[in-house]
Structure 1
Amino acid sequence: MPFDFKLPDLGEGITEAELRKWLVKEGDTVREHQPVAEVETDKAVVEVPSPRGGRVGRLARREGETVEVGATLFTIEEEGEAPPERPKSVGIVGELPEAEEEREIIATPLVRKLARERGIDLATVRGSGPRGSITPDDLQRISPSSAPQPTESFSPVKLVPLRGVRRAVARNVMASQRNTAFVTGMEEADITELWELRRRELGAVEARGAHLTFLPFFIKAVQHALQQHPYLNATIDDAAETIIIKRHYHFGIAVETPDGLMVPVIRDVDRKSIIELAAEIQELGSKARKRTISLDELKGSTFTLTNYGHFGGVFATPIINWPDVAILGFGRIGERPWIHKGQIAIRRILPLSLTFDHRVTDGADAAQFLLKVVAYLEDPALLFIEST
């Protein structure tokens, strides 16, 4: 009998995925564990393997559709198995001509109204909602060009579906805003010495195959400061009213990709050298931009860093990567007049912005943490003296 292959549980609480690309077509023969589809979740693009071998029957979903976990993707027929046939209709005058099978159209009055306005026959639309119901998104995918363009009083506007990474970002930031009592504190660091250190060692590090940015130094400074301010390396269990302080240091690193912001996680940063961190940042950043990164590489952070200064920002109010309780943002490094050893000098100044959950710790602790980070960045030798 044909086997209905349903979208499996992808973990991490994911309830749906967008069917990005079919890797097979109807009639193809597939092997067990052969990738058959490429789906995009809230976090990554993953290949879905076939649970058994056989011939691909009906593809139940189209590319671009959103599929719920547990919904049928396609059917698999055993080799040599004939496609199921309906018995012919027989009446008192003999065999009757076969009528086309009618499909139940499930759609809300709003969807039916939109379909009429756009001239779309609902019988031609495969719904992606519960029990195959047709949603407004289904209409947009079927005929976006025929949809009337909403206009402001002065000009037309463009409709951009919220999909993939962009949708994940939207959900995550809203979850953070709902679930945290966020406050942002700011500081500045004179990183002239760190600037010179990086410049001196750049060639030696690149000769070993890694590109040395400031981010590995930022990571090390934060790691050392967190060891003295552990409430910022934590999560909070609201149901149990318990703060869970982490004794490991897994840092999420915000990476801008063509599809939107992603946050790969570097694990055990306290056990890695500056060069090892530089190499891992480079590898994970490349995977994120190519959308080859795995779900495991995007989860489990205990603290998050974002280097928006690379794109020109100075100060900001970074949004916490919930369920973390803090995120530190680094702004654009600029040359500024600065008091150095009692004299006015032109120094390289780094802006820092720390957003933290006020339920977990207070402003005094956050301010002291920031000053500790500043101390490590202004005197990078401390990073090596205190490293284990």
Structure 2
Amino acid sequence: MYEFKLPDIGEGMHEGEIRRWLVREGEQVAVDQPIVEVQTDKVTAEMPAPVAGVVSRLCAAEGSVVPVGSVLAVIDTGSDERVPVVDGVPAQTGMVAAAAEPSVATVTMARPQTARRALATPHVRSLARKLGIVIDEVPGTGPSGRVTEEDVRRASERRTTPEPAVPLPAARESEWRAASVASANAEERVPLRGVRRRIAEHMVKSVRVIPHVTHVDEMEMDELHALRDRLRPYAEARGTKLTYLPFFVKAVAVALREYPYLNASVDEDTNEVILKRYYNIGIATDTDEGLMVPVVKDADKKSVLAIAAEISDLVARCRSGKLTLQDVSGGTFTITNVGPIGGLYATPIINHPEAAILGLHKVEPRQVVRNWESVIRRMMYMSLSFDHRIIDGAMAVRFTNRLRELLENPEVLFVELV
């Protein structure tokens, strides 16, 4: 018997969600045959079988979240050696969740019968005592299995017994039942799974940890629009579609060298600011699965045309589900471009642990004043959300002023290229 465990594929991965089993119990599998899809914090990955044999048992349900090192399946390789089992769970497997949100009782039965001291902060332990929750019996969803405040509150809610219903007169009861059926038919419950679940967790963590401030400015786009139109035939002859976005990526990389705190992150464990001397720009991309952020690596060292080609490739693979972990890792700053869809401006949420995110919005002709005269210009709002722990408002304004200088007069951008 062979225990197939959830491997650590890097980038600080602590757990994965079982998206879909590609085999069934009793099915013969070959070496390197994909047997399960697992959603990590960043990508969906197919896990291959490391050995050949018959799938004896699947140990995690679709939709369940399991920590690294947990046994996902037991494969009968024909060997006489067998894995000892404790209460229906292979020994040394760690805790395996039976469902996406298991009950406290389920988790207690499923884990090996060994004492465990939960990882938790003093605040969370105090909350657990206040709510009458045994914290060592609460499954942790935080890093390294840490029990969070949300974990404790969920455990308290599951334990709470609803108050008994007050009996209704027969006529009122029939009306109530009819209304309840009508109400139930008007609702649909969709499991929060996969990429959407990871996005939700990531956004909640970002807002909880980072004090967000958003600065909004506007930019005149006429010169950049004209330059892009002149360069389009040149780019198309080389098989590349040229949009505004590659120019913004290049300008951001130039400006970040001058304002390094916007290309940084905060190490909460050591109370240190990490200033990064590399410029990897994430491109927030809308997909059917949810928002993904592939990364243009070393944008400061690439031409606008090379960046345009790379963005096209990343977006295409993102929407076809073919991104690798390398494609979505290592970002230092993110751009979210909602202009092609519309909208005046928004307040984007920072892609934790980064320090800032730039939102680009629709370009439209507007009446503005130049030299005390009313004229029509192509204008665009941009919104910069930043981490107020390490970035002050004045620095944010200077950063966007620099972007305006580089892009309202694109020849300045090309002078700054290295």
Indicate the TM-score class for this superposition, using the shorter chain for normalisation.
Answer: 0.7 to 0.9
Partner of residue 254 from structure 2, selected from 218, 221, 224 = 224
Report the AA paired with residue 12 of structure 2. G
Q: Are positions 1:307 and 2:337 aligned together?
A: yes
Q: Are positions 1:326 and 2:356 aligned together?
A: yes
Aligned to 1:42: 41
Q: Deviations over 1:318-339 (max 9, x none)?
A: 1111110111101111100123
Aligned to 1:278: 308
Q: 1:181 to 1:379 in 2, by over 3 A?
A: same
Q: Deviations over 1:65-95 (max 9, x none)?
A: 44443332222222486999xxxxxxxxxxx
> Greater RCO between the two (CA within 8 Å, min separation 6)?
1
User: Given the two structures, how large is their TM-score scaled by the length of structure 2?
Assistant: 0.74
Q: Is the 8 A contact 1:335 1:348 kept in 2?
A: yes
Q: Is the 8 A contact 1:151 1:157 kept in 2?
A: no
Aligned to 1:370: 400
Select between 242-251 and 73-82 the one with higher mean Cα deviation: 73-82
Q: 1:103 to 1:50 in 2, by over 3 A?
A: closer
Report the AA paired with residue 171 of structure 1. E
Q: 1:227 to 1:57 in 2, by over 3 A?
A: same
Report the AA paired with residue 205 of structure 1. A
Q: 1:28 to 1:381 in 2, by over 3 A?
A: same
Q: Distance in 1 between matches of 2:6 and 2:102?
A: 26
Q: Distance in 2 between matches of 1:275 and 1:48?
A: 36
Q: Is the 8 A contact 2:63 2:193 kept in 1?
A: no
Q: Deviations over 1:214-260 (max 9, x none)?
A: 11011111111112111111111223222111111011110011011
Aligned to 1:164: 194
Q: Deviations over 1:294-330 (max 9, x none)?
A: 1221121111111122221221111111110111101
Aligned to 1:116: none
Q: Within 5 Å, which residues of 2 pair with 1:32-181?
A: 32-79=31-78, 129=107, 132=110, 156-181=186-211
Per-residue deviation, 1:28:
4.2
Q: Is the 8 A contact 2:19 2:194 kept in 1?
A: no
Report the AA paired with residue 278 of structure 1. A
Report the AA paired with residue 296 of structure 1. Q
Select between 333-342 and 355-364 the one with higher mean Cα deviation: 333-342
Per-residue deviation, 1:43:
2.0
Q: Distance in 1 between matches of 2:250 and 2:8?
A: 36
Per-residue deviation, 1:197:
1.2
Per-residue deviation, 1:265:
1.1
Q: 1:352 to 1:130 in 2, by over 3 A?
A: farther
SS of the aligned residue for 1:319 comes to coil
Per-residue deviation, 1:290:
1.5
Partner of residue 205 from structure 1, selected from 227, 235, 243 = 235
Report the AA paired with residue 266 of structure 1. V
Per-residue deviation, 1:191:
0.8
In structure 2, stretches of 5+ residues that fail to align are 90-96, 112-138, 140-153, 155-178
Partner of residue 268 from structure 1, selected from 290, 298, 313 = 298
Q: Is the 8 A contact 2:217 2:383 kept in 1?
A: yes
Q: Are positions 1:247 and 2:246 aligned together?
A: no
Percent of aligned positions that are identical? 43
Q: Is the 8 A contact 2:218 2:381 kept in 1?
A: yes
Q: Distance in 2 between matches of 1:247 and 1:130?
A: 47
Q: Distance in 1 between matches of 2:184 and 2:382?
A: 41
Q: Distance in 1 between matches of 2:202 and 2:344?
A: 24
Report the AA paired with residue 33 of structure 1. D
Per-residue deviation, 1:22:
3.0
Q: Distance in 2 between matches of 1:161 and 1:150?
A: 22
Q: 1:239 to 1:21 in 2, by over 3 A?
A: closer
Q: Distance in 1 between matches of 2:367 and 2:64?
A: 56
Q: Are positions 1:295 and 2:294 aligned together?
A: no
Q: 1:56 to 1:196 in 2, by over 3 A?
A: same
Q: Is the 8 A contact 1:188 1:351 kept in 2?
A: yes
Select between 32-41 and 195-204 the one with higher mean Cα deviation: 32-41
Partner of residue 225 from structure 2, selected from 195, 212, 216 = 195
SS of the aligned residue for 1:332 comes to strand
Count of paired positions: 340
Select between 149-158 and 27-36 the one with higher mean Cα deviation: 149-158
Q: Distance in 2 between matches of 1:26 and 1:157?
A: 35
Q: Distance in 2 between matches of 1:162 and 1:32?
A: 33
Report the AA paired with residue 226 of structure 1. L
Aligned to 2:214: 184
Q: 1:81 to 1:203 in 2, by over 3 A?
A: farther
Q: 1:62 to 1:322 in 2, by over 3 A?
A: closer
RMSD: 3.1
Aligned to 2:142: none
